Structure 1
């Protein structure tokens, strides 16, 4: 299936695996790209050296195009951009709108730049700055998310920008791909669906927790920003938390994170900068990266900070990336043929 996305990045199918921290490493990204989609390495949770190693590991596994996701607000973002350029990465992905100078540097080097946004105005801004495409995530998506559903946000952005738009939030099968194309998108991006594959490095006990999940909720108690996660007992306790409970949680999870109190408070202050966070949220925010790691890497499903899109409630298997992408494309073909005049 040829679309503006496949033409832009050189993948065979208009399917993107999103850059999920502690999940989308070299193994998952390579498996996705080898199967014809666009795999993205989540380097924001890696050191520069780890990121470089992950890029080279993907290269050893496949010669298909892939991307790397970094934080545009990281102090070492320019260094990471230079690594991507030097290592010949095809796509630069950003969870936050990248600075204008980062986009310019990447474009000068021939790297395709694809930021992720959750609002039309953000899409318009990065398009004006020279972004090559944009991933638009509706409120159904997992992790940090906005309030507008994909079915409302996607057509707004398609109409507002003149670059390829990739739809995210609520996609998991071929019918969804066809629907996104009908809205004018150039493809779909999926996180939760790729997290729940045989190629995902997430521990089996955590995958079982995802497959058994029936509900998600959007909370600001994790790090002060709306965050869609599995509705675990831990998350529900955070929803009821006050400062004292946050302090107790901070003490408990400081041991898991390995942070000192000084490091935790310093990280909390950094995350609080420019945001209206309570001190309870600050204490939790400082622990969030390591709590995510504890679940996604160490298998601590009891910690409960597990980002998930609403589609988690309808997922019940763990296909390989190759099986998943082949299935989605077959479903899309069948859906197109079933349309009047198809």
Structure 2
């Protein structure tokens, strides 16, 4: 970390990081290499655990700790049958932050907080933020429709203020952020920091194959599509030929490839059929998916692995936020974070001068 500028917010105080920037937990992307590089840059790196077995997660945590002494976090699937066991690993190894893609149970929040772990669920609506805030979540992250995850249609500029107005809990904004202007804007809205996925994926520290990164850089603002054809849930993906073929394929045509990928996922996860069934039932109860959607649930991790790990775009998906259309380089995490902070400080100072008062970065 080389920047002399700092922006202190409740996020930096809560987590102990230097800068109010979060690298989100992207499956197959946010591994020890990227997380530790983010942490060393002074931001909050989040290790993605959904595609890891329990032993793999423990090994990944140990590896991150061997690479950096800075705080970092782990993203957990709240609906996973082994979520409590994974939470115990965070407690055992002194991980600073637990983030969740869905709302964790109150008991799990209490257990983590009892051991000093900061709990940050992701939410998609003000009512969800109100629920987890009432359960004791330390902060919430919102993601607008511009993002690359399970996004709704509401853009960040509308979702963020509704959540900030609804809760006193610190709010982190994600979806559409890539530079210091975005950080300054989010702080002006009342957020305590920003989360970025695609921007960190497209760094030199990311383990995504170089030719795949170059493929990302070739897409414009219209280069993504939100589809439910992978597993019945909305995903924003690069508009590749494979994704176009998914969009056009009927349910019957998808059946055999889906069964094949289910077998691959079973082997990769080390789960028995009974464990997979229990995990699927837990997911169904928490997400409200239909049984036909549950049949497709193993599609996503395997299709993302094919694209992001194996580099096979003819048989894999590439998750991306809309910001992919304005990114044209692959800086290191350190260079990226320094640049964002420096630009945000300049923007906040300029805003303060324009209104004749000192800018207040966050509430």
Shorter-chain TM-score bucket reads over 0.9
Match of residue 312 from structure 1: 324
2:86 and 2:280 mapped to 1: Cα distance? Answer: 24
Matched, 1:59 2:71: no
* Alpha-carbon shift at residue 85 of structure 1 (Å): 0.4
1:250 to 258, 269, 278: 258
Query: What is the match of residue 240 of structure 1?
Result: 248
1:216 match = 224
- 2:178 alignment partner, SS class: coil
1:79 aligns with 2:85: yes
Per-residue deviation, residues 104-130 of structure 1 (Å, max 9, x unmatched): 001111110001111111111000000
Aligned to 1:119: 125
Match of 1:324 in 2: 336
Aligned counterpart, 1:192: 198
Equivalent residue number for residue 17 of structure 1: 23
SS of alignment partner, residue 320 of structure 2: coil
Q: Which residue of 2 aligns with 1:299?
A: 311
Structure 1 residues 249 and 153 mapped into 2: Cα distance closer, same or farther (>3 Å)? Answer: same
Aligned to 2:298, the other structure's residue is in SS state helix
For residues 71 and 268 of structure 1, the distance between their equivalents in structure 2, rounded to whole angstroms, comes to 11
Q: CA deviation at 1:286?
A: 2.5
Instruction: Provide the secondary structure at the position in 2 that maps to 1:332.
Output: helix
Partner of 1:98: 104
Give the TM-score normalised by structure 1. Answer: 0.93
Distance 2:121 2:62 in 1: 23
Show the counterpart of 2:158.
Answer: 152
Unaligned runs of 5+ in 1: none
SS at match of 1:207: helix
Assess, with a 3 A threshold, how the Cα gap between structure 1 residues 317 and 292 changes in structure 2: closer, same or farther.
same
Q: Following the alignment from structure 2 to structure 1, what is the Cα–Cα distance between the partners of residues 261 and 71?
A: 39
Q: Secondary structure at the match of 1:74?
A: coil
d(CA) in 1 for partners of 2:329 and 2:43?
19
Question: Aligned partners of 1:63 and 1:153: how far apart in 2?
Answer: 35
Given candidates 285, 288, 294, the residue that maps to 2:300 is 288
State the match for 2:146 in structure 1. 140
CA separation in 1, counterparts of 2:312 and 2:264? 10
CA 1:268–1:64 in structure 2 vs 1: closer, same or farther (change >3 Å)? closer
Please report the TM-score for the alignment, with normalisation by the length of structure 2: 0.88
**CA distance in structure 2 between the aligned counterparts of 1:122 and 1:153, rounded to whole angstroms:** 12
Residues in 1 aligned to 2:288 and 2:260: alpha-carbon distance in whole angstroms: 25
- 1:24-53 CA-partner distances (Å, limit 9, x unpaired): 011111100110000011112111111111
- Paired residues, number: 340
Q: Report which stretch shifted further, 173-182 or 210-219.
A: 210-219
Is contact 2:242-2:313 (8 Å) kept? no
Counterpart Cα distance in 2 of 1:109 and 1:269: 29
Q: Confirm or deny: 8 A CA contact 2:308 2:317 kept in the other structure.
A: no
Given that 2:306 and 2:316 are in contact with CA atoms closer than 8 Å, whether structure 1 keeps it comes out as no
CA deviation after TM superposition for structure 1 residue 275, in Å: 3.8
Q: Structure 1 residue 194: deviation in Å?
A: 0.3
Measure the CA separation in 2 of the matches of 1:289 and 1:86: 27
Aligned mates of 2:60, 2:192 — CA distance in 1: 27
Unmatched segments (≥5 aa) in structure 2 = 1-6, 359-363
- Partner secondary structure for residue 13 of structure 1: coil
Distance of 2:343 and 2:172 partners within structure 1: 19
Alpha-carbon distance between aligned partners in 2 of 1:80 and 1:243, rounded to the nearest angstrom: 34
